[in-house]
A and B are shown apart, each in its own frame.
Chain A
Amino acid sequence: MTSPAPITEPRETPRPDPVAAPALSIEGVSHSYGPRRALMDVSFNVQPASFTALLGLNGAGKSTLFSLITRLFGIQSGRVGIFGHDVSKSPGEALRLLGVVFQPRTLDLDLSLTQNLLYHAALHGIGRRDAAARSAELLGRIGLADRAGSKVRDLSGGQMRRLEIARALLHRPRLLLLDEPTVGLDVKARADIISHVRQLVTEQGIGVLWATHLFDEIMAGDDLVVLHQGKVLAQGPMSQVISEAGAQDVNTAFMRLTGAQTMPGGGA
């Protein structure tokens, strides 16, 4: 399997604004399913050209948060902004700056790779000719150009994930959300996906929110948000979160913060 090359299409219009809005701002967001409170007063920002890891165990509220950001659920209280556009008030403007890779696979298995990409492009109003050019280019960059006409069903798990990331980038978003994108992948495919996404941050200035429960996917220099039972327990640069918890590494810091007795299935 060839390692995916970085995706470096020209940005549409660079906006060198000294006081630009954060790529993603979550302000005082709470959410309940009936009596069960899934999120409680969650607030944090994701800056452009940054890699922010949203760290939490299964059930911490990560998926609920993603559903609120993507307008799948209505926001009950608080505010979600994408580059300053309120998701509730102007969802169109907010969503067009956003690319998402959901945790469950969301590809049409019986359609070809190109057909999947063209469908997504159409959903964003990208005309056929432009869409075909972008699809071919992105497939080349994830090393799947020779599979363009194959059915998605015939791809491996890692290839499907790369295709989903390519699809999320098709409309050239400036914020990318990924919900546990490496679950179920082998070591090599995981490493490929992680390095690919990190290149998007450094080379294209995309803001990334990466939800995970695997500590080894976080690197020094990342921003960290620790979410536990619907509450943000800590946030900031990784080194700061670790030192404030009086720990030596993320693993220990997380356990001290959450009082977790057992190691989550990461840290391999």
Chain B
Amino acid sequence: MSSITTRDAPRGFSAAEYMTCLTGIVWREGLRFLHQRERFVSALVRPLVWLFIFAAGFRQVLGISIIPPYETYILYEVYIAPGLMAMIQLFNGMQSSLSMVYDREMGNMRTLLVSPLPRGFLLFCKLLAGTAVSLLQVYAFLLIAWLWDITPPPSGYLTVLPALILSGLMLGSLGMLISSGIKQLENFAGVMNFVIFPMFFASSALYPLWRVQEGSPYLYYLCEANPFTHAVELIRFALYGQINWISLAVVAACTIVFMIGAIWAYDPSRGLARRGPAGGEG
């Protein structure tokens, strides 16, 4: 075929173009979320059921001794609040990944991926957008929890923000990594059973780990190795203006690993490419 003789000089992309792209993706994700009222309601009802019913019932059964970051005896509701915040983000992360599978089936993913900006950047924007949506949900939950007498120090609402952004990115990129391996929407039930439930229950979300250790040392090690435990502890400490350094390190490291994995899996010459066209047409 004819050889290429001339072409335009590459001009690259400016910082302003990157920012426009980022804000555009976050804006679209926010709009879509606001249009899906059921999703917002169910995202709120889920943790509130745990708070109002489960915690109320367990209050008498589980005594909580004074453990950091708490300085006094606390009610069980107060203990599980950070776990429920992380649960909101866990569900949101998995739901964003679900929407990516849906987008891929419906073709919307194509409009994102034919953007001329680097693909890794596009996926990062998508993750940030999902995290922004999870922040809306978490703060709505905190407002209701405040009415229920779960009152962290006022500055805690601010100090928890960076922790929530990091944990949101970690859980979002985990979801994205998993979504790259899911072929069809129906498989999401499997994600519930094999990812969400084990991660949530084998963590410090519902019970302090020293209590788990009393029951089963093996389960304790499992909980300690669970990145979700560290997301919960990072949020718990940040809500009281403190930093849990170990959790911060684990969550940051996991975020980087999951994110690189997700971007790798969405590389056109790997993940998606192996699977062939969604519609089955050759």
Which residue numbers of A lie inside 8 Å of B, CB to CB?
15, 17, 19-22, 25-28, 33, 36, 38, 43-45, 58-64, 67, 70-75, 81, 83-85, 90-98, 100, 102-106, 108, 110-111, 115, 118-128, 230
Between-chain CB contacts (< 8 Å), 22 pairs = A38-B276, A44-B1, A45-B2, A64-B282, A71-B113, A71-B114, A73-B269, A84-B7, A92-B12, A93-B116, A94-B116, A96-B116, A100-B110, A105-B107, A110-B36, A118-B24, A122-B23, A122-B27, A125-B14, A125-B16, A125-B18, A125-B21
Top 5 nearest A-B pairs (CB, nearest first) are: A122-B24, A74-B269, A84-B7, A125-B17, A123-B115
User: A11–B223 Cα gap in the complex (Å)?
Assistant: 60
Whether the pair B1, A45 counts as a contact (CB closer than 8 A) is yes
* B111 adjacent to A123 (CB under 8 Å): yes
- Please, which residues of chain A bring their CB within 8 A of the CB of B20? 122, 125-128
A125 and B114 form a contact (CB under 8 A): no
Using A67-B277, A92-B118, A102-B110 as known contacts, say yes or no to A110 and B4 having CB atoms under 8 A apart: no
The smallest C-beta distance from B171 to any residue of chain A, in angstroms, reads 24
Q: Are A70 and B282 in contact (CB under 8 A)?
A: no
A33-B276, A63-B277 known; 4 new pairs, CB 8 Å cut-off, are: A27-B1, A92-B118, A94-B116, A102-B107
User: Do A85 and B10 have beta carbons less than 8 Å apart?
Assistant: yes
Cα(A28)–Cα(B35), bound, Å: 46
Number of interface residues of B (CB under 8 A): 52
User: Is A125's CB under 8 angstroms from B117's CB?
Assistant: yes
**Which residue of the partner chain, among A74, A95, A128, contacts B116 with CB atoms under 8 Å?**
A95
Which residue in A21, A119, A230 is a CB contact (below 8 Å) of B27?
A119
Roughly how many angstroms separate A243 CA and B281 CA in the complex, as a whole number? 31
B64 contacts A by Cβ under 8 Å = no
Residues of chain B within 8 A (CB-CB) of A125 are 13-14, 16-18, 20-21, 116-117
- A74 and B119 alpha carbons, distance in the complex (Å): 13
Neighbour of B6 across the interface among A20, A71, A96, CB < 8 A: A20
Quote the shortest CB–CB distance from A40 to chain B (angstroms). 12
Which residues from B are CB-within-8-Å of A43? 1
Which residues of chain B have C-beta atoms less than 8 A from A27's C-beta?
Answer: 1
B219 within 8 A of A: no
- How far does the Cβ of A247 sit from chain B's closest Cβ, in whole Å? 26
B56 on the A face (CB < 8 A): no
Shortest beta-carbon distance, B133 to chain A, in Å?
15
Q: Which of B260-282 contact A (CB under 8 A)?
A: 267-270, 272-274, 276-277, 279, 281-282
Residues of A within 8 A of B1 (CB): 25-28, 43-45
What residue of chain B has the Cβ atom nearest to residue A74's Cβ? B269
Which of chain B's residues have a CB closer than 8 A to the CB of A103?
A: 279
Question: CA A43 – CA B12 in complex, angstroms?
Answer: 28
Chain B residues numbered 31-65 whose CB sits less than 8 Å from any CB in chain A: 31-32, 35-36
B85 CB–A CB distance under 8 Å? no
Select A110's contact among B32, B111, B117, B277, beta carbons within 8 Å: B32
- Given known pairs A95-B114, A122-B21, the reply for A73 and B268 (CB within 8 Å) is yes
Q: How far is the CB of B51 from chain A (nearest CB, A)?
A: 30
Known: A81-B4, A96-B116, A125-B21. A90 touches B10 (CB 8 A): yes
Residues of B within 8 A of A90 (CB): 10
Alpha-carbon gap, A73 to B113, bound state (A): 11
> What's the minimum C-beta distance from B38 to chain A, rounded to whole angstroms?
12
**A120 contacts which of B17, B111, B269 (Cβ < 8 Å)?**
B111
CB distance from A112 to the nearest CB of B (A): 9
Contact call A73/B23, Cβ cutoff below 8 A: no
Q: B4 to A84, Cβ gap below 8 A?
A: yes
A75 to B267, CA, bound (A): 12
